[in-house]
Amino acid sequence: MGVEVLPEWLNNLEEEDISFIKKFLLSSGSLKEVAAIYGVTYPTVRLRLDRLIQKIQISEDNAKEPYISLIKRMAVNEKIDFETAKILISEYKKLKETE
């Protein structure tokens, strides 16, 4: 038997993200049911799912542009605001174009 290798996007998720995915799948994708499990509102679960989708998309983009991926990840994790992230990414792209 060979060693099982998980996809990179899955390796980049936190344990709590994987738990959320498991609950989502076991509830047949019902956000209302997941909201009931967590004891929160539907919009809260929707926001959580949207952030999880962003994390996965960022992870997929990481191989192409690690710096941009880092900035996006910081914004998703609320380490920096989205406006700052846009400025940093824009300036980085301008710098790359002049090289």
Q: What averages of pLDDT result for each successive group of 10 residues across the chain (99 residues)? A: 66 87 96 96 96 82 74 84 90 86
Boundaries of every domain in the chain: 8-51, 65-99
Cβ contacts of 67 within 8 Å, gap of 6 or more: 92
CA distance 35 to 44: 8
Q: What is d(CA 38, CA 65) in angstroms, rounded to the nearest whole number?
A: 35
pTM of the entire structure?
A: 0.63
